[in-house]
Amino acid sequence: MSAPSTIHLAHSPDSDDAFMFYALADGQIDTQGISYVHELQDIETLNGRALRGELDVTAVSIHAYAYLSDQYALLPHGASMGDGYGPMLVSTKPMTREDIAGQRIAVPGLMTSAYLALRLFQPDFIPVVVPFDQIEKAVLGGGVVAGLLIHEGQLTYKDDGLHLIADMGAWWLEKTGLPLPLGGNVIRKDMPRDLQKKVSRHLRESIAYGLDHRKNALDHAMRYARGLDRSKADTFVGMYVNDWTLDYGERGRRAIRLFLDEGVKSGVITRPVTVEFVDD
């Protein structure tokens, strides 16, 4: 593959991803002649597009990476890690892990890391795929017994009177002592190696710039906050754009390998996975 001057960079239209890529989108980073075209779609759509090899660089679910590792490598920057918190399983009344066995549960996609985590938590349930921003409504409407919330719903479910059954990130931390790996950025492996490293540096610089210029980056991110006030948006961004996002580190990489290994052992992931990082 020849070195392109335009890189298609895909990510979710969420406040945390917007914060992460603010500096690139706003021209604050010297991109050394590379033009970045930002494509914004929900994570399950991006997972599908990556499976078809349509994107140069994209955010994906760590679960989906299990089926992408032949075409894409993980960048060391851009992780969304739930360090003691993560996707929230909620219902209209208090319930236990045993109560949800065999029940219909709304999930944001079968390739999401939230879905894999829930399968590890409770293997016996009927998944009902619902757009991530409609899951609370599905639970309140009674079409499902419970719903698995990602993104802003993790901060707003109490406002709708919903009850927390389990926090997947808290459960995983108690089980493994590690953060729950939810999302990451991947890059095509058939790109020239020097280009992969250059793109990796640009993404890291963008994340670092946002963290160093938090007010401006948050101003940008508020366009994608879907009804969160600034305080809650700042909290949400802080949950998923932090030191883990700058670099997975040894613990973060171990968490990814264990999460995917557990997925393979459980049978949810149907093939062995070799995790490969692009290192600067």
Q: Which helix (H) or strand (E) holds 127?
A: strand 126-129
Superfamily (CATH H level) for 6-82+181-266:
Periplasmic binding protein-like II (3.40.190.10)
Mean pLDDT of the residues in the chain: 93
Q: How far apart are CA 42 and CA 51, in angstroms?
A: 15
How does pLDDT run across 11-56, given as a tens digit for each residue?
A: 988 889 999 999 999 999 999 999 999 999 988 899 999 999 999 9
Which residue intervals of the chain bear CATH 3.40.190.10? 6-82+181-266, 88-176
Q: How far apart are CA 266 and CA 5, in angstroms?
A: 42
Question: Which one of the listed residues 11, 63, 77, 151 is annotated catalytic?
Answer: 151
User: Cα–Cα–Cα angle for 51, 150, 213, nearest 5°?
Assistant: 95
| 239 in Cβ contact with 85 (< 8 Å) | yes
pLDDT band, residue 4 (cuts 50/70/90): low
Q: What is the pLDDT of residue 2?
A: 47
63 carries an active-site annotation: no
Q: What is the DSSP string of 135-152?
A: HHHHHHHTSSSEEEE-TT
Q: Using DSSP, state whether 11 is helix, strand or coil.
A: strand
CATH architecture under which domain 88-176 falls: 3-Layer(aba) Sandwich (3.40)
> Is the pLDDT higher at 28 or at 5?
28
Q: What is the pLDDT of residue 10?
A: 95
